[in-house]
Structure formats: structure tokens, C-alpha cells
Amino acid sequence: MILLRLIDEINIFIGKTVSFLIYAGIVVLCFEVVARYGFGQPTLWAHGYTQRIFGAYFVLVGAYTLIKRDHVRVDIFLNTRSPRVNAGLDLLNCAFLILWGVVLTQEGWLFFEDAWSFNEHDDSALGHPMWPIKLSLFLGSLLITVQGIAEAIRSIVLIINPYADVKRSGVA
């Protein structure tokens, strides 16, 4: 269980740290609105930066959101059965998450590798490099996959012993 708590702690730290990107995105958006509508001088860069900021934010907080159990869930079948059945359904969900995560992590790495190798830039006037956002896709999907594996292990433990202590770190 020490390894599971370490995975939680890492993802909680990254999630809380990355959550501050939302403020950077707000600042950029407010600057663009004031520049565009207040001074009639829209920027060339704000749209691209807000896409990158919010894109990175979205993928990098995924594992933290999983820990907090804040992803959209259909609880019609969950939490209405015995602890073992709930753990089994959670394990099934985790299996799909892990499959999706492995594929996305692999593809994210290939996207990053190509962007880095070919010095890929976007087609905007400023030609921003693409590798940072593609790196965040790889890292975010890797983090959520590892967290999914930790959740699957917790589910297996609960299937075997429904009253086991498998608390998540930093979660009430």
C-alpha cells in the first residue's frame, strides 16, 4: 500500500501545482478581451496560448481528478450494491481506463517524439513549437494510467477483502 500512497501523493502534488495554470489562462483571456474590445488591438498570440494552457491543464489534472473521484460517473449501478460488487464494477471501469490510457500514452509519446524530432511548429503567425503541449499529453495520460492501475489494485484488494483499508492519500 506504500506504493499506492506514493502514486497518490505524486499525482496530488502535480494536480495541485498544475491547477494554478487556470489563473494564467484567465489572465491571458482577460488581457485579450481588454486589448480587443477596450483598445481595438487584438493580439496574435493569446488564442494559441490559451489553447495550450487549458489543454495542458485539462490533461495534467486528470489523475488528480481520478483520486478525488470527480470524473463523471454513472452511479446507477455503483454504490447500490455490496462493497464487493462495487469494487468489481470499479475494477471493470479501471480496466477500460487503463486500456485507454496505455494507448493514449503510447500515441502521446509518438506525437511528442515527432514534434521534437522535426521541430514542429503550429501554423499561427508566431509559429509556436508544438512539443510542449504534446509532452503534456504524454505526461497527463501516463499519470492517469498509473493512477488507474493504483485504483485497479485497490479494487482487487476490496474484492478479496471488502473491509480492507485502501484509503487514498489526501482524500477525506
Q: List, for residues 13-31, the tens digit of each pLDDT value.
A: 999 999 999 999 999 999 9
Q: List, for residues 30-74, the tens digit of each pLDDT value.
A: 999 999 999 999 998 888 889 899 999 999 999 999 999 887 766
C-alpha to C-alpha distance for 19 and 53, rounded to whole angstroms:
11
C-alpha to C-alpha distance for 106 and 109, rounded to whole angstroms:
5
In the numeric block, the cell 481588454 is attached to 34
pTM of the model: 0.87
Q: List, for residues 81-125, the tens digit of each pLDDT value.
A: 788 888 898 899 999 999 999 999 999 999 999 999 999 998 877
Give the confidence band of 75 by pLDDT, cuts at 50, 70, 90: low
169 phi/psi in degrees, rounded to 5:
-70, 140
Angstrom distances, CA of residue 31 to CA of 20, 24, 157: 17, 11, 50
